[in-house]
Amino acid sequence: MQALTAWRRIACVFLPFAAGYYLSYVFRTINALIGGQLSSDIGLETADLGLLTSVYFLVFAAVQIPIGISLDRFGPRRIQSVLLLVAAAGAALFAVATGFLSLLIARAMLGLGVAGALMAGLKSIVLWFPKERVALLNGYMIMLGSLGAVTATAPAEYLLRWMNWRQLFEILAFATGATAILIYVVVPERIMGRSTIRNTLSSVLGDPRFWRIAPLSAACIGSAWSLQGLWASPWLTDVERFDHPRLVGQLFTMSIVLCGGAWSFGTLVHCIRQRRAGVEIIVAAIAGLFIAAQLSLILRLPLPSILPWSVIAIAGTATVVSFAAIAEYFPPELTGRANGALNVLHFGWAFVSQCGTGLILQQWPVVDGHRTVFAYQVAFGLNLVVQIAAFVWFALPWLGSFGRRMGSNPLRLPASVSDAVETFMPCEQLLVVMPANTDSEW
């Protein structure tokens, strides 16, 4: 194995994979900006636009497990460089597409081509960096990648003053191909030694801890991607009645918040791990805030629009926390499969949420160029029900522990402050007493 200094690992491993993830975020969110132009130029309906944007997530989800297995077997360098060439071809096809079908095929190629961007980056971090730095570097990886969402707002809007969306995709096709070549040439090869454990997907899918956290992570993160990647723009236009400059400004602000959220989550997880505490409480807190933000939109609470939408944007970077929790359950040899399995659910729900929202919205007519507030309330509300159900499922072990404690001594009053904390805050005690990777009741 070639020895690399810390700075060479950053330059030759971390940054090239971060560039690939950056491009994947550009492709994921760019339709929120150009959706109106696509609809007018190609003649797309609301449901068509929802399907076109969400097919990215469908293909993305479908190939996560095969890509995860390939990353574990062949390493991230070769897999990522090949996939990014597919993405470059998809961007080139998107630039010359003249109808819905060709756009759909191109979008699907983009989804396939960048499907391994995040997992390849996370796998490279596991392979090349110390374990105690993994969570922090994961946060930096997602922060740098989410700059792609920033690029897909005001900077892309500025470029579109000088060119059309087809020329923009030609530039993206060239940049993606160049990044593929960079990763193949610059990133060193590193093969993991043979492990004594069985590196099978069943080792991941058979673990009950995975199925406790995965539904909540998928329902919240997938919904956040769906909303920011497409439906934030129609909501702000139809419900908030933003004009185009104000819309672009809010999308830009949300993207900046997205980057800050990724860095904050990575730093927070790093600090919590140093204190030998579990990260699952962070998952619960993020989910609770995300649900509350959507509820405030649905109920039309008198809050500044940027506040709930910023929370929604931040929730999209909670993959840092989810992957950190998953990393506590499985050894490094299984990280590709574990992250891939979780990403199947993330992107699978993003597809269902994004496409389903378009189908629901189309059931209401357009009045004076806008859809009714009630249409959005129904579409967003049905999505929220799924998240609340997943949150209850995630919290069941804590709720069960609380019920058992209360049921065993229902009439006993706490004799002291510490006794009261022990009785009425079992969740906090679980975080201290029970290690995050225990099999007991999880």
Mean pLDDT of the chain: 83
DSSP string over 225-260: HHIIIIIHHHHHHHTS---HHHHHHHHHHHHHHHHH
CA 399 centroid distance within chain: 27
Measured distance CA(238)–CA(206) in Å, rounded: 45
Predicted confidence at residue 81, as pLDDT, reads: 96
pLDDT in tens, 284-303: 999 999 999 999 999 999 99
Predicted confidence at residue 433, as pLDDT, reads: 37
Residue 425 has pLDDT above 50, yes or no: no
Residue 273 has pLDDT above 90, yes or no: no
Residue 108 has pLDDT above 80, yes or no: yes
Predicted confidence at residue 201, as pLDDT, reads: 75
**Alpha-helical runs (H) found in 275-334:** 280-298, 306-315, 319-329
Could you give the C-alpha distances from 119 to 58, 94, 110, 123, 329, in angstroms and in order?
17, 25, 16, 6, 17
Q: What is the 3-state secondary structure (H, E, C) of 92-133?
A: HHHHHCCCHHHHHHHHHHHHHHCCCHHHHHHHHHHHHCCHHH
pLDDT in tens, 229-271: 889 999 999 999 999 889 889 988 998 888 888 778 878 877 7
pLDDT in tens, 353-367: 988 998 999 899 888
Place of tokens 């619960």: 284
| CB hemisphere CA count around 404 (13 angstroms) | 8
Residue 422 has pLDDT above 60, yes or no: no
Measured distance CA(187)–CA(182) in Å, rounded: 8
Pick the more confident residue, 319 or 287: 287
- Sequence-distant (≥ 6) Cβ neighbours of residue 205 within 8 angstroms: 211, 341
Closest C-alpha among 224, 207, 223, 435 to residue 338: 207
Give residue 199's identity as a one-letter amino acid code.
N
Pick the more confident residue, 192 or 133: 133
User: CA torsion 396→397→399→405, rounded to 10°?
Assistant: 150
pLDDT in tens, 25-78: 899 889 888 888 888 888 888 888 888 888 998 898 889 888 888 888 888 999
Place of tokens 């499907």: 115
188 φ/ψ angles, rounded to the nearest 5 degrees: -75, 160
Residue 393 has pLDDT above 80, yes or no: yes
Q: How many residues are given for the chain?
A: 442
Please report, rounded to a whole number, the percentage of residues in the chain having pLDDT higher than 70: 85
182, with CB counted inside 10 A (0-12, 13-18, 19+), is middle
Predicted confidence at residue 405, as pLDDT, reads: 65
Closest C-alpha among 110, 120, 155 to residue 141: 120
Q: How many CB atoms lie within 10 A of CB 150?
A: 23
Predicted confidence at residue 419, as pLDDT, reads: 43
Count of helices and strands (H, E) across the chain:
22, 0
Measured distance CA(232)–CA(356) in Å, rounded: 15
Pick the more confident residue, 436 or 325: 325
Predicted confidence at residue 404, as pLDDT, reads: 63
Residue 118 has pLDDT above 80, yes or no: yes
Predicted confidence at residue 44, as pLDDT, reads: 83
Measured distance CA(405)–CA(427) in Å, rounded: 12
Closest C-alpha among 347, 353, 256 to residue 310: 256
Rounded to 5°, angle at Cα 383 from 381 and 385: 70
| CB hemisphere CA count around 174 (13 angstroms) | 5
Mean pLDDT, residues 202-212 taken together: 88
Which residues are 367's β-sheet partners? 370
Predicted confidence at residue 47, as pLDDT, reads: 84
Rg of the chain over Cα atoms, rounded to whole angstroms, equals 22
CB 56 within 8 A of CB 103: no
Predicted confidence at residue 23, as pLDDT, reads: 95
3-class DSSP assignment, residue 49? helix
Residue 413 has pLDDT above 80, yes or no: no
Predicted confidence at residue 4, as pLDDT, reads: 65
- Structural domains of the chain, with CATH: 6-187+201-433 (1.20.1250.20)
Residue 416 has pLDDT above 70, yes or no: no
Predicted confidence at residue 400, as pLDDT, reads: 67
Predicted confidence at residue 87, as pLDDT, reads: 97
Measured distance CA(228)–CA(243) in Å, rounded: 18
* Run of H or E residues at 163: none
pLDDT in tens, 167-187: 999 999 999 999 999 999 999
Pick the more confident residue, 340 or 159: 159
pLDDT band at 401 (very low <50, low <70, confident <90, very high): low
Place of tokens 């236009």: 237
CB 383 within 8 A of CB 298: no
Mean pLDDT, residues 189-205 taken together: 64
- Sequence-distant (≥ 6) Cβ neighbours of residue 94 within 8 angstroms: 103, 106, 107, 110, 169
Predicted confidence at residue 324, as pLDDT, reads: 80
Mean pLDDT, residues 338-361 taken together: 89
**pTM, full prediction:** 0.73
Predicted confidence at residue 320, as pLDDT, reads: 83
pLDDT band at 417 (very low <50, low <70, confident <90, very high): very low
